[in-house]
Amino acid sequence: MDLNGKKILVTGGSLGIGRETARILAECGATVGITGRDAARLGIAAESTGAHAIVADVSDPADIDRTYSEFLERFGGLDCLINNAGIGVHKPLVKLEAEDMEAVWRVNVLGAAMMAQRAARIFAEQSHGNIVNIASTSGLRGYETGTAYVASKFALRGMTECWRAELRRHNVRVILINPSEVPTAFGSADRTERPDEPNKLTSVEIAYAIKAALEMDDRCFIPELSVFATNPF
């Protein structure tokens, strides 16, 4: 896909992977909208990337409706949804509360699914489109304290396979990106971004992986791409 002139919606675009992805896609000539819950941070990200800010929470169905209404009214169409919004709770199983699971799943699973549902309707009608789900290598293998988060990423991986099976006949590409550890604001109580670490991945590297996957010719696609640091130890 030639990114120039394409209309792309990125959830979780205030910080980290979402913000860098928006910036790089906009530099390629794409028209980009970003969503996020913090209006101030989202505004800063929009100013630095050239994207259009839509203050919205993907776990809120009314916000999803408003996101699509605003994006489509402003840009007149949609070529790609990047499901990047995500949260995490890490607790041992014996200390995990039902509310922890519900909070993570409302964003990482239900929010992603409902955002994708709206995109799928548009893409099926126009017979083209792209959905990129940002999962995690945590969706490949579990670890201690990961019950809520890991389960949500396994679920996103499974949903990706389902959507791919449903939408390929409509020329819709559904791509899963699994980043390994990227020092970002993820998991930080005050949403302060962590500094880059020489042996870890960066948000920019994941953004370029997303860009590369989208730039493949429309006749082909990468179903799943996992990105690991060479030596994170």
Predicted TM-score (pTM) of the model is 0.95
User: Higher confidence at residue 195 or residue 34?
Assistant: 34
Cα dihedral 103→104→109→114 (10° resolution): 40
Which whole-number Å values give the CA distances from 82 to 19, 192, 193, in the listed order? 12, 23, 21
Active site residues: 149
Q: Which CATH architecture has domain 7-227?
A: 3-Layer(aba) Sandwich (3.40)
Inform me whether the pLDDT recorded for 143 exceeds 60. yes
Least confident of 78-92, 129-143, 145-159, 189-203: 189-203
Residue in the structure block whose two tokens are 């006749």 = 219
pLDDT of residue 97: 98
Strands 80-83 and 7-10: parallel
pLDDT of residue 194: 66
Could you count the other beta carbons within 10 Å of the beta carbon of residue 201? 22
pLDDT of residue 196: 76
**Residue-wise pLDDT tens digits, 148-198:** 999 999 999 999 999 999 999 999 999 999 999 998 656 555 556 667 788
Chain centroid offset of residue 15 CA? 12
Query: DSSP letter string over 41-94?
Result: HHHHHHHHHTPEEEE--TT-HHHHHHHHHHHHHHHS--SEEEE---------GG
pLDDT of residue 198: 83
Degrees to nearest 5, angle at CA 41 with 37 and 56 = 20
